[in-house]
Structure 1
């Protein structure tokens, strides 16, 4: 039997090579994974042209995945620096990279990115539209926007954020809300401005069927963007956010009818006590589609430390069922992140994802922790370093102030609890002098 997309194959009972790879990675039976993909609860973003891809699954019962954002801007048009970030992300085993470049001709950079990266690649075509088309926003037509989507699909992009849910009904709800931060989604703000300037409906909503046909042809997963996500804890869970989510739920079903895989994007900034309800609501209104969250960032007053505020929210969201975390760096809200910012963002997100996997009982999630605990008990430093999420930093910290006592660290020395108890259990005398 022939098939066009992973979802179509799953519906026809076909196990694709990508499904087999993902099932092995996730320690899941192939048939169970196929059923989840057929029902839209798991996606494998895998463009037919992304030959270097190492497939990953996102969704119910799988390990929480993380995404790294990068890309050039008008203020920092340094492609080489962004490729350095790409290489770092691959070295750390990041499952996804989004190219958010919004300046100049981005095709050569993205072509190189797709050729090099084994991680899945995502884009936001709306960001690229002005530079790609060389037109002012108001002059861009609906068909122009579709051309950009097709160009990205042909290049090999595995998933695309498309803000199709911010239609006229959702905008009415937005205008009725007294938000502090209005629309903070870059793509959402551009679509809103285009709609207001032209008087037209959102082109991605109005021509949604045409969008789906393009995505289906190349097996691109649609990540339905939350244009009205809250940009402050004041604005979270308001009528605008929920109105758009209702529209996204309808769009999710329409995509599945065309055998297009769907990811649903979520907030944003949000107080801790609202996170669980928001995850439940997304899963309910969007029929269990994988949930992709930016953070959530749980407080607005920590610029320079938003990798921490985001990791807190991400761990909680994923423990309640979110499937995909977009990393946040210390540079969030301040500037384009440096290579070091990217590293810190990756580590914070990996910690959040792993902590959530432990909480929700993902298969084998605790194994590495148990091995670390055993190595700590035996005071085997080399094994501890090898099991650490950030081996380099752990080793640097230990070696920066080495202990005089071999089987300890410089914090406790000979009073190390592990040393004391290990000696005692062996029947050895514990001495300090």
Structure 2
């Protein structure tokens, strides 16, 4: 038997409502901020991620799925969403005057990283995120953070907190990296094996190492906020002031660094206190990346974005007992009794669907008792029964499951005007009748 690959999951019908809740809520909240959805390919040129995410990052050097196709092109499955959108922005000239500026887009879909599978982290994982391209205004940073914050509130996620930091401009970070190397080199024998390698390739990643040995050393390491230029300091102060104006609580944490090379200036993480996915775990992260578009061959364009892991959200929704909206109840269930009813049952259920109702029928010629059980599980409002007698007489039996109202109707009329019969069977007309008879006070 062939089984699914390690690090992947089947999303089964009985679990899909939680996915729909997460995705539909994202669309509702994001579009209320006038963000529009964008969809980019699942695979891109390897060089796109090498140049944007960074050749020395763990994502590119260790985790990315890359391969050569039959045309000997070096490709990679997307490990994150920003690089592909940056490529699409340049290639499709989305900076042109015919496009609203700044460009505000959101995305959702699968990403791929080769890492050890664990709760909320798979090799094929799903991400929801936003990108804003074309605005240097610190209010853009805060709008993005506020959007993420509002999204979690709308979902019903509790115990969230916001941590912010600034990585400064490219020259600020270079000075900071030099200071980090000067600090860690004399202590290199005390670093973890991974951090010893990062000291030579990407020393910034030592700051957010989870290894206890590294964390003890990081406590006394230089902090990036001491190396910011005046321009970056002013931008960061404006971000803090605007967050305060929106009453969004935050903590400045100089040890938030993010793992991708394209970030600069404002970065942030939204954390949740929940032992299920690890105390103080990140459920959203992002920041500003003003040099990325230019680095990839486009015009100088500021950018800001964030990403949210869907699998972690699913765990949180379950752990925090967030109520997931139930699927819409079925309006009509057609019970066909006997093979002679097969054609009429199909015609009736299709007439119901054509009239705009959610409808289904039995296809297995099961007993009346079994079909009633199915209709009950579906919370069907109306049950339409068609048996041998009904086929012979050209009628159907209709019952309202909520109030017990029954009727026998001609099949031809039901097929020609299903909506009228549905309303007759489901709308309470007694109040309307009383109104016209003057019986209301």
Task: Please give the TM-score of this superposition, normalised by the length of structure 2.
Answer: 0.28
Q: Which has the larger radius of gyration?
A: 2
More strand by share: 2
TM-score (norm 1): 0.28
